[in-house]
Amino acid sequence: MSLKNLLTICTLILPILLLGCKKDKCPQFSNDDVWACYNEKTWDSLQIKNTLIGEWKWACINCSSISEMVDDNRFDGLTIDFNSNNSLEVKEDGQTTQTSTWKVVYGNLGFFRIDVSPAVDQLDGIILLCDDRLEFQLSQIDLCDNHFIRKD
């Protein structure tokens, strides 16, 4: 085998090996598990609202088609505090950086989402709730899913 052929083979195999070793960015948020857990209940907008009320800590982000371009830790320290009066506070490292209003709405694909004004990028997508986990999912349209964990 010539050196040129060997280099060609290595060039083709190396990216496959590196992608195969890629770690799961959100191990506590298996899509199958979150979907199954969410579907154990029959949700309505009031149940979604009442479950969202409280403080949620951003945990991780998964992006379906642009995962290599996303900084996994870019929102570390971000929390969202959903209030019962339909206001919310976005906090970074404990400091309020934005206040918005929010409302649960029946969204596309037969799932719930929230309208937020002014918008908060991490809260875009369909809502999946499971115990102390919250996902705003946009992977169904090849964008990112933002995952949160309820703060104690």
pTM over 0.85: no
Q: Per-residue DSSP letters for the chain? A: --HHHHHHHHHHHHHHHHHHTPPPS-TT--HHHHHHHHTTS---HHHHHHHH-EEEEEEEEEESS-GGGS-TTTTTTEEEEE-TTSEEEEEETTEEEEEEEEEEEE-GGG-EEEEEES--GGG-SEEEEETTEEEEE-GGGTSEEEEEEE--
Q: pLDDT tens per residue, the chain (152 residues)? A: 654 544 444 344 433 333 333 445 576 677 778 889 999 999 999 999 999 999 999 998 887 765 555 556 778 889 999 999 999 999 999 999 999 999 999 977 789 999 999 999 999 999 999 999 999 988 777 788 899 999 97
